[in-house]
Amino acid sequence: MEKWDVIIVGTGLAGLYTALNLDKALRVLVLTKKSADLSNSSLAQGGIAAVLSEEDHTELHYMDTMAAGRNANDKSRVRHLVEKGPVEVEKLMTYGVAFDRQTDGQLALAKEGAHTVSRIARCGDYTGRAVVTALLNTVKLQPNITIREHVHVREITHENNQILGVKGHHKSVPVDFWGNYVVLATGGIGQAYEFTTNAETITGDGFRMVEKIGISLEEMSSVQFHPTALYEAQCIGRRFLITEALRGEGAELKDINGRLIMKDKHELGSLAPRDIVTQEIHEVMAHTESSHVYLDATHLNKDYFTRRFPTIMDYCRNIGLDPTKEYIPVVPCAHYLMGGIPVDLNGETKFPRLYACGEVAYTMVHGKNRLASNSLLECLVYASSVADAINGKEIRNENRSCSR
């Protein structure tokens, strides 16, 4: 049995960013059931939404988030998200995240669905991989943080409403970890669906663990389907995502007969909120009796497409598709859970010293439909809030950590 100050389950953006923001005097253990670089965060293509330019304002980001969520979002928490976001995104750069920039050195901000301005900080179309790689490299340099791979956490241990740690298996061998704090950053429920954009490791572990100790989950039916996953007839399981940023560059959705799908359906056209676009695609597929629709990006020249969307270009080439000459077959696919483990503004659950952040947490910022690229932002803001809360408790001497 090992004793730690803080145990974090998950090595996506939420878990890694929590670890980096914790007091350096705390002994931190980060657990992941496979390799540390495998997570939903690492698959994110689009980027991180935040107010990072003079043409933007937190009130605009707030209104876009509320509108996309059909005003079912918690207003105070959305304000917390958009107001704290820019500081956290800028902090990422100190960890070595090199966002794309214009020739004048300013951030090259992208536009995605339901955003009124360009506010997406990105690294090509592989933002998640770039961010996770930078944070993993930074975490590995911290003497107070230890990462253990291939540990499948299955149980939260507690007694008299007091969190004691976690139990699980390391390559089939039972393991036990004690900790003063436990942070769940285990992702969503992607593998509950036949087709998903999620990593194979996203199997709802965190939800199962908290239900066992008496925490009720909320809004678990609020699942977002991404409108444009690549359609491959022989695909099994995870579908390759076609980022919404491609529509931000002018790509248009068309049915199998080449007719525009979103024309006259919404004032933002193909960049309407995801739930609206997904619903329209399903209706068109039913009407045309087709298994997919198309995304037309043929207006982009090959050199620009390759520089701007290298991940998509490589994948398309590997399956014999040239997206600058042919339409890309796409279909809606299970993508993101808006519900989850209910937490307060600091990411704490009803169990003192048990926290959750990232997709596993129900923070109430997304409402009924998440605004594009607010997911990585939520990871940053709430991971920082979790770390601040734990650090604050340590400073106030509300407990004695095992390392002191």
What's the token pair of residue 254? Answer: 């068309």
b/e sequence 89-99, b meaning 16+ C-beta within 10 Å: beebeebebeb
- Beta strands 223-230; 328-337: pairing state: antiparallel
Residue 218 and residue 72: Cα distance in Å, rounded? Answer: 14
Q: Which regions of 231-352 does DSSP assign to beta strands (E)?
A: 237-238, 252-254, 293-296, 328-337, 341-342
What's the token pair of residue 146? Answer: 């230890």
Numbers of helices and strands, H then E, in the chain: 11, 17
274 is catalytic: yes
**What phi, psi does 195 have (nearest 5°)?**
-125, 130
Classify burial at 160, counting beta carbons within 10 Å of its beta carbon; exposed 0-12, middle 13-18, buried 19 or more.
Answer: exposed
Which of these is catalytic: 274, 308, 353, 370? 274
Catalytic residue set = 274
